[in-house]
Amino acid sequence: MNQYAVIFDMDGVICHTNPYHAKAFASFFDKYKIPYTDKEFEDHMFGKHNSYIMTHFFKRNIVGNELLTLEGEKEALFREIYKDEVTTLPHYLTFLADLKDHQFKTAVGTSAPRANLDLIIDALQIEKQMDSLLASEDVKLHKPHPEVYLKSAENIGVPPSRCLVFEDSFSGVTAGLNAGMKVVGVLSSHTRKELPPCVHYINDYKEIDAATVRRLIDG
């Protein structure tokens, strides 16, 4: 039987964490007296790596140890805010179980730090259902570069042409497409028009199943 795989981004795809990241960044930027707007969060935070976000909002390059320190501070704020709020997008766990019942390989490829990934995976108790878990520390180049998706495919032993990515951000969809994979746009953070063209779109996981995933990959 031909092997298929589904690779999930995490923020905005497994869990709708963006409002909690916004709260954490608002508190963080207030401390450092950094101005921001909701529109800037939408354009320059969601789906972006912390190195980009920090550099944009501080209006100078944030790299090296300074990036690690500031990132650690902000992400600790996020985990404190979100730790008792972890929940999936509607019907995600049912969809994941359907995929596993049909022998799909499954993975997570996120730009978030490993500690955030661990928090969510542990809270949802889905580690055993994932064949690969990659976070920010596992790659050198971040989305829209395809490294995290190509490395995920390599880890699970499925060629990119037989992988379907679930993404919610412009940079994330671009990363999946750059990896030579088909992408489902998850409309938790953006509209269809705000994303690169995807092979399919969903508002939540009641709108898709394993049979549809197979058709999309084969299509």
User: What's the confidence (pLDDT) of residue 159?
Assistant: 98
Task: Kindly report the pTM of this predicted structure.
Answer: 0.93
User: What's the confidence (pLDDT) of residue 191?
Assistant: 95
* pLDDT tens, N- to C-terminus, the chain (219 residues): 479 999 999 999 999 999 999 999 999 999 999 999 988 988 898 878 899 999 999 999 999 999 999 999 999 999 999 999 999 999 999 999 999 999 999 999 999 999 999 999 999 999 999 999 999 999 999 999 999 999 999 999 999 999 999 999 999 999 999 999 999 999 998 999 999 999 999 999 999 999 999 999 999
User: What's the confidence (pLDDT) of residue 46?
Assistant: 81
Closest of 125, 68, 129 to residue 102, by C-alpha = 129
User: What's the confidence (pLDDT) of residue 43?
Assistant: 87
Question: 113 φ, ψ to 5°?
Answer: -65, 155
User: What's the confidence (pLDDT) of residue 42?
Assistant: 84
DSSP codes joined into one string, 54-112: HHHHHTS---HHHHHHHHHHHHHHHHHHHTTT--PSTTHHHHHHHHHHTT-EEEEE-SS
**Domains identified in the chain and CATH numbers:** 5-16+87-218 (3.40.50.1000), 18-82 (1.10.150)
